[in-house]
Amino acid sequence: MSIQNVMVIGAGQMGSGIAQVCAQAGLTVKLNDMKQEAYERGIGTITKNLSRNVEKGRMTEEEKTAVLGRITPSLDLKDAHDVDIVIEAAVENMAIKHSIFKTLDEVAPKHAILATNTSSLPITEIAAVTNRPEQVIGMHFMNPVPVMKLVEIIRGLATSDEVYKKVEEMTLQLSKTPVEVNDFPGFVANRILMPMINEAIFTLQEGVATKEAIDDIMKLGMNHPMGPLQLADFIGLDTCLYIMEVLHEGFGDSKYRPSPLLRQYVKAGWLGKKTGRGFYDYT
């Protein structure tokens, strides 16, 4: 079976990006969200991205129209009845993912692969609520999806070699670089990245240096394209806190304890760029 028909669940920043790269690769895509306005925002983002590509000469207006023509809206998970793979990109909440995957297991074809774009939650635990754990896998795309090349492909305890191979082939078809990872908290990307961001927040909290100094040191001294505090603002401080809590709970190691300053900012509603204020002011 070759993968031709895709459903992407969640029309937010990640989901719309995944839908875009799938459609650009010639796949037929159903972009699913609970609300019509969320879908419209998502397709608006995709249209804007494609228009920018046309302006820069990366694609023609005809190619843009063809890509958009391969994406159709979906407001019901039952629309997964004829797809080859579902890529879930909903909120990072295990209860919500369990609910989605239970439904998908009932409505998706028996051959369909059920993938999740989770950045830190256990694939094995998500797969356990289905009757096809061997067909459940992690596909962790990086943000922004149309630009970033990496996809962490995470095997659950039961994920079959055949399913891994199909997802690896699909990832290459999307012009992405697949990297195989086993199912441990945070996988690789966030297990390394988030403690670095958390340590930068501790460094700020303890008054070692200003936020600008911390970011400049990592940019100019370590050749990072963006400082860790600015990057945290772009990721979302609530997301950073959630992943640190997953790491702390998953490993039971105090080195993963979230910074109190991070908790304080999240409680204040200072979540970063998306709320206009985090470590920096975006108003």
Nearest to 265 by CA among 279, 253, 244: 279
Q: Is the pLDDT of residue 1 over 80?
A: no
- For each of the domains in the chain, give its residue range(s) and CATH number, in order of start: 5-182 (3.40.50.720), 191-275 (1.10.1040.10)
C-beta of residue 206 within 8 angstroms of C-beta of residue 160? no
Q: Which residues form the catalytic set?
A: 119, 140, 152, 190
The per-residue pLDDT for 29 is 98
Q: What is the pLDDT of residues 156-183, one digit of tens each?
A: 999 999 999 999 999 999 999 999 999 9
Q: Is the pLDDT of residue 35 over 80?
A: yes
Q: How many CB atoms lie within 10 A of CB 189?
A: 16
The per-residue pLDDT for 69 is 98
The per-residue pLDDT for 2 is 86
| Rounded Cα–Cα distance for residues 73 and 57 (Å) | 28
Q: What is the mean pLDDT of residues 9-37?
A: 97
Q: What is the pTM of this model?
A: 0.93
Nearest to 70 by CA among 10, 5, 14: 5
| Rounded Cα–Cα distance for residues 219 and 126 (Å) | 37
Cα dihedral sign, 37-39-45-51: negative
Residue 96 — very low, low, confident or very high, per pLDDT cuts 50/70/90? very high
3-class state of residue 227 by DSSP = coil
C-beta of residue 88 within 8 angstroms of C-beta of residue 113? no
